[in-house]
Chain A
Amino acid sequence: MRNYLAKRRMTGVLAASVLAATGLMAGSASAKTLTAKGAPSVITVGTLYASTGAFATSSLPQYAGLQFWAKEVNRAGGVYVKAYKKKIKVSIVALNDESNPATATTLYNQLLTQDNVNVLVSDFGSVLTAPAITLAKNQNKLVFDVSGTGTSFFDNGADPNVILTSLPVSSIWPKPLTSLLLQLKTKRVAILYCQNDFDGAQAQAIKGFLVKGGVTPVYFQGVPTSQTDYSTLLQSIKATNPDAVLELGYPNNDIAFLNELASTGTHFKFALTVFPGQLPALFIKDVGVKALSYTFTYAEPPTVAYNQVNIGLGTTAFQRAFAPADPSSVNFLNVAGYNAGLAVQAALQNATSLSPAGLHAGINAVSGKLRTLEGNFRINNAGAQVGELLPVGQIHPAGNRIAVKIIKPAIAAEIPMVNAKPLYPAPKG
């Protein structure tokens, strides 16, 4: 009996020691990140940005938008996290990928495996988002994809690892554009695109929609994303006598293309580039109002304003808060970065846990109900953004600035903006 009691005492002491040791270890771990109730002291949002390289032009303003969101949220005492039923402050862990996808892969991995961030937000565009999506799928994590719209990210059915927060997926993005081209009865369409997920997917989608509408592109060619010399390419396109020319590239491609049009005195009845609508100030500086005039582009916020919102600031309020001195300097990528923050906020407000599945369920719960400064937020089961279509706009000169006048083709009837008639054939700038 004594032996039995001695054994029980020993077992009790050992158990207490183990519990105490476990408690101590847990205590030391939680001292860094957890409060007494187990909630983290801060929600870490890991992201990448490119301070140099081909994508810096777009990545930096997107990052600035995300930073602004974090600042706003923290000023209000933090973001409400349903999993812990309390507001928690947000901290951004940002690393510089220098526009290099290989560097981005390493840094995304670092954010996920070493920094153990609570939320991962990808860098700008499909090229720098692709590594995040691959890692998220391999490690079963969730990535908030701000502007990587490449169709290949969303073509494998239901996907719990990615949420596209801003732009519509490339496969539906060009619907209003092709609708407008068909409405204008353009028969000869030339498409020049850069060989990357973003532009390639758009080009294929446009081609598909046009062919369905009975128009087969007379020119359909891809060039490297590093392309800067468009002289001979323009002549090749001109030789096809097109009614409309679509150049799908990143900002540096669009700038070089538009400058080549101006310097060779080439004029097309309809010329569209992607980024003047997103980065108007940059294009005014690098291309000039005259060369931009009467060309077409996509019209994104803040050109298109969504002020009826149920989370965060509306478009106009955001412009005023983000750049009080010059609200017109706010560009789409500032909006996209901020919008990604709002998506993270919505996920945290509705998620019952911070696990990837929990966050995904949190965002799914508000899909279709959320109205942000980018309009209706709705994702499909593959995580692709399908809430809004992107209208097409025509650039008009307005002194030393430009005004993007929105053209509302038949298919984009739900776009709630002021409508303008396209000037087609476009007058010379």
Chain B
Amino acid sequence: MRLFEFALLSGVMYGLFYAFVGIGLNLLFGVMRVVNLAHGDLIVFGGYLAYVLENDWHIGPLWAIPISVPMGLVFGYVLYYVTVPRLRRSADTETTSLILFFGISQVLEAIATIVFGANQVTLPSLGAPVSIFGQNYSLSAVVSAGISVPALLLLYAYLYRTRLGLETRAVMADEEEALASGVRVRRVAVTAFMIGVAFAAAAGSLAMFMLGGVNPVTGSQLTVTAFTVIIIGSLGNPLGTAVGGLLYGLAASLTQAYLTEWTGMVPYVLLLIVVLLRPSGLFGKRARIA
């Protein structure tokens, strides 16, 4: 029973982290139909930023979050104007974006190898373990969950409590109708892109603790995890991403506790089940074929 309790709570903590990892990717896809295969690499660069701050500047790694957010916003702005307008002119935005961002991913991976080397970089634990219900949890996991929740709520507030958020949801629902209704689509798109990249960069410093560190190829694995999470929740729905992350985290944690040999497979079995039973994801809207 104690193991179950631990697996449940640990699964929730990791799930919130995975939701944080996936949320930026989902925003990009929801608004622009851009498949950002470099998402994981952007997270990894956030991780490297935390590493540099701690090792070279002796600044606590959590400061990487407030520092990486404005950096991510600026980088997202530049990346948007370099890539998206051209992508949108292509006949098939999704496929072209897949190829383009695959290339960007490879470039980022190569840059990371040149600058930081091929080895894993890690950070020391944030502090002594935290006892919850009589069991020890890593402080890093607790802090990570504690940061993920307000970050997800912040994005929720943006989408559901601001005018730009309303416009963003309108574009997610139907871009052409939104455009016809006077929604400033380009502004929505560039803002979403900036927020998506900023979220990825911020998730990086948490990845340093939740994944035990990063190396240049961690990004590919994170991109796969992020896609799994957002597909479970539903593409283009940030709320679904939160639920998808939690389900992914719980599935991984409970499998580690009770079906260890299947650890690598069960989260993806969950993905298959969701796709087969609800192709649009748990929170996806069914398409009406007229």
* Residues in chain A within 8 A of chain B (CB atoms): 50-54, 56-57, 60, 99, 195, 221-224, 226-233, 235-236, 239, 251-252, 255-256, 259-260, 262-266, 282, 285-288
Q: List 23 A-B contacts (CB under 8 A).
A: A52-B109, A52-B118, A195-B261, A227-B263, A229-B14, A229-B211, A229-B256, A232-B6, A232-B10, A232-B254, A233-B260, A236-B257, A239-B3, A251-B120, A256-B212, A256-B213, A263-B125, A263-B126, A264-B138, A265-B128, A286-B119, A287-B122, A288-B124
CB distance from A261 to the nearest CB of B (A): 10
Does B7 lie at the interface of the complex (its beta carbon under 8 Å from any beta carbon of A)? yes
Does B95 lie at the interface of the complex (its beta carbon under 8 Å from any beta carbon of A)? no
Does B237 lie at the interface of the complex (its beta carbon under 8 Å from any beta carbon of A)? no
Residues of A contacting B90 with CB < 8 Å?
none
Question: In whole angstroms, how far apart are the Cα atoms of A223 and B257 in the complex?
Answer: 11
Q: CB < 8 Å: which of B7, B122, B210 contacts A235? A: B7
Residues B10 and A224 in contact, CB atoms below 8 Å apart: no
Interface segment among B56-64, B163-171, B214-222: the answer is: B214-222
Given contacts A99-B217, A235-B7, A239-B3, contact A260 B136 (CB under 8 A): no
Given contacts A222-B261, A239-B3, A286-B121, contact A263 B14 (CB under 8 A): no
Residues of B contacting A228 with CB < 8 Å?
211-212
11 extra interface residue pairs, beta carbon distance < 8 Å, beyond A57-B119, A224-B263, A232-B7: A56-B215, A230-B212, A231-B141, A232-B11, A232-B254, A235-B257, A259-B125, A259-B212, A264-B136, A264-B137, A265-B136
Given contacts A235-B3, A263-B138, A263-B140, contact A53 B122 (CB under 8 A): no
Q: What 1/0 mask marks residues of chain B from 244 to 276 whose CB sits below 8 Å from any chain A CB?
A: 000000001110110011011000000000000
Residues B118 and A57 in contact, CB atoms below 8 Å apart: yes
CB distance from A207 to the nearest CB of B (A): 14
Q: Which residue of chain A is the closest to B141 with respect to CB atoms?
A: A231
Does B146 lie at the interface of the complex (its beta carbon under 8 Å from any beta carbon of A)? no
Residues of A contacting B183 with CB < 8 Å?
none
Q: Which of B98-144 contact A (CB under 8 A)?
A: 109, 113, 118-122, 124-126, 128-129, 135-141
Range class of the B interface residue count: 35 or more
Question: In whole angstroms, how far apart are the Cα atoms of A56 and B215 in the complex?
Answer: 10
Q: CB < 8 Å: which of A224, A235, A256, A288 contacts B6? A: A235
Q: Which residue of chain A is the closest to B121 with respect to CB atoms?
A: A286
Residues A255 and B120 in contact, CB atoms below 8 Å apart: yes
Residues of A contacting B286 with CB < 8 Å?
none
Does B288 lie at the interface of the complex (its beta carbon under 8 Å from any beta carbon of A)? no
Residues B261 and A221 in contact, CB atoms below 8 Å apart: yes
Residues of A contacting B210 with CB < 8 Å?
229
CB distance from A322 to the nearest CB of B (A): 19
Does B2 lie at the interface of the complex (its beta carbon under 8 Å from any beta carbon of A)? yes
Residues A221 and B260 in contact, CB atoms below 8 Å apart: yes
Residues of B contacting A282 with CB < 8 Å?
119
Residues A52 and B216 in contact, CB atoms below 8 Å apart: yes
Residues A232 and B213 in contact, CB atoms below 8 Å apart: no
Question: In whole angstroms, how far apart are the Cα atoms of A251 and B119 in the complex?
Answer: 10
Residues B264 and A224 in contact, CB atoms below 8 Å apart: yes
Q: Which residue of chain B is the closest to A222 with respect to CB atoms?
A: B261
Question: In whole angstroms, how far apart are the Cα atoms of A222 and B260 in the complex?
Answer: 7
Q: CB < 8 Å: which of A50, A256, A263, A287 contacts B129? A: A263
Question: In whole angstroms, how far apart are the Cα atoms of A252 and B113 in the complex?
Answer: 16
Residues of A contacting B261 with CB < 8 Å?
195, 221-223
Residues A53 and B217 in contact, CB atoms below 8 Å apart: yes
Residues of A contacting B122 with CB < 8 Å?
255, 259, 285-287
Question: In whole angstroms, how far apart are the Cα atoms of A171 and B49 in the complex?
Answer: 43
Question: In whole angstroms, how far apart are the Cα atoms of A233 and B252 in the complex?
Answer: 11
Q: Which residue of chain A is the closest to B3 with respect to CB atoms?
A: A239
Q: Which residue of chain A is the closest to B124 with respect to CB atoms?
A: A288
CB distance from B266 to the nearest CB of A (A): 11
Residues of A contacting B135 with CB < 8 Å?
235
Question: In whole angstroms, how far apart are the Cα atoms of A239 and B210 in the complex?
Answer: 22
Residues B260 and A236 in contact, CB atoms below 8 Å apart: yes
Residues of A contacting B2 with CB < 8 Å?
239
CB distance from B12 to the nearest CB of A (A): 12
Question: In whole angstroms, how far apart are the Cα atoms of A63 and B243 in the complex?
Answer: 45
Given contacts A226-B221, A265-B128, A265-B129, contact A236 B256 (CB under 8 A): yes
Question: In whole angstroms, how far apart are the Cα atoms of A265 and B141 in the complex?
Answer: 13
Q: What 1/0 mask marks residues of chain B from 219 to 239 whose CB sits below 8 Å from any chain A CB?
A: 001000000000000000000
Question: In whole angstroms, how far apart are the Cα atoms of A354 and B66 in the complex?
Answer: 62
Residues A260 and B212 in contact, CB atoms below 8 Å apart: yes
